[in-house]
Amino acid sequence: MTVSNESTSEDRPLVSILINNYNYAHFITEAIDSALNQTYPFKEVIVVDDGSIDNSQDIIFSYGERIISVLKKNGGQASTFNAGFAASRGDIICFLDSDDVFLAEKIAEVVEVFESHKDIGWCFHDQKWVDENTNPIPKSSTQRSSHECDLRGLIKAGKLPPPLPATSALCFKRSLLQQILPMFESEGTSADRYLKHVALALDKGFFLGKVLSLHRIHGSNANSLRNDKQWVAAKSFILTGYWLRIKFPILTKLANKMLGVGIGSYWAIGGVDPQYQHIVKNHLSAISLIERFEIYLRAYYHYLKKVNQVKP
């Protein structure tokens, strides 16, 4: 039995909590417990292990039938999203990184939003940044008021949205996520960036101005506070833009903008990584000369912006 506490009620949605994990044995217990201990009873917890070589899988097995375990070869975060979603049954899908924590009322709050706003496809909320021991640090990823939001026109016009929260603050209706997943499984791409931007382009949603998860900042984070953050971001923008154009041609303007941002960021740190030069070439060869010119103008703008940021 994977649905906790009691069988699902016909008039309440089942929520799938998808936990993605890779070598976070020292954090994963807290993540799983925070999912299981939600005040909302109609849920299933799916833990996808991406080929960990620490003792993560032993910890996952210890939960038995309280969770759904998915063990796979290492393939990156996008592959865990695909595998978790394929194993899920929920009407609402909430993502949780295995080094983060849900607050106990998270799912109940999100369900209330979806039930009060029947025509939305996504709900994102605020997070609190904490250290390895969940002590607060003086920064939060997002601080918003609660409001319904329709950014479809903005995204399709190639505009980047305001800063968006990380994986553990992202919740979707299944009907929307079915249009996005499975997604490409390419090393170096920011899977949550792809999810967020496509979701905003396809449906309207709700920003919930409440802190409902703890986003842990530590030495192994993929993006937050890394010394090589600019390199990681440049690679992510290029790969995400490339795959956006292929899978969602209506988002070509946004894809081109991401490519320009990625190229400019790479220029500021010495040039596009040879490993991804073919991606840039393939993208540019598939668009018009005017679009290529616009991409290089944007790249030059972001190059100057990055260079000026590091001047003494």
Contact 252, 245 (CB under 8 A): yes
Identify the helix (H) or strand (E) that includes residue 50: strand 43-50
Global pTM reads 0.88
Q: Residue for token digits 């499984």? A: 185
> What secondary structure does DSSP assign to 252-289, as a single string?
HHHHHHHHHHHHHHHHHTTS--GGGHHHHHHHHHTS-H
CA-CA distance, 87 to 68, in Å (whole number)?
A: 8
**Angle formed by the axes of helices 229-247 and 252-268, to 10°?**
160
Helices in 117-190 by DSSP H: which ranges? 152-156, 174-177
Residue-level pLDDT at 227: 44
Per-residue pLDDT, averaged over 39-66, amounts to 97
Are residues 147 and 123 in contact, defined by beta-carbon separation less than 8 angstroms? no
Average of per-residue pLDDT across 118-140: 90
Q: Per-residue pLDDT for 2 more than 70?
A: no
Mean pLDDT, the chain, whole residue set = 90
Residue that the structure tokens 């030495």 belong to = 219
Contact status, residue 164 vs residue 124, Cβ threshold 8 Å: yes
**203 phi and psi, to 5 degrees?**
-155, 160
* pLDDT confidence of residue 26: 95
pLDDT band at 22 (very low <50, low <70, confident <90, very high): very high
Sign of the Cα torsion 290, 292, 297, 302 reads positive
- Cβ distance 78 to 14 under 8 Å? no
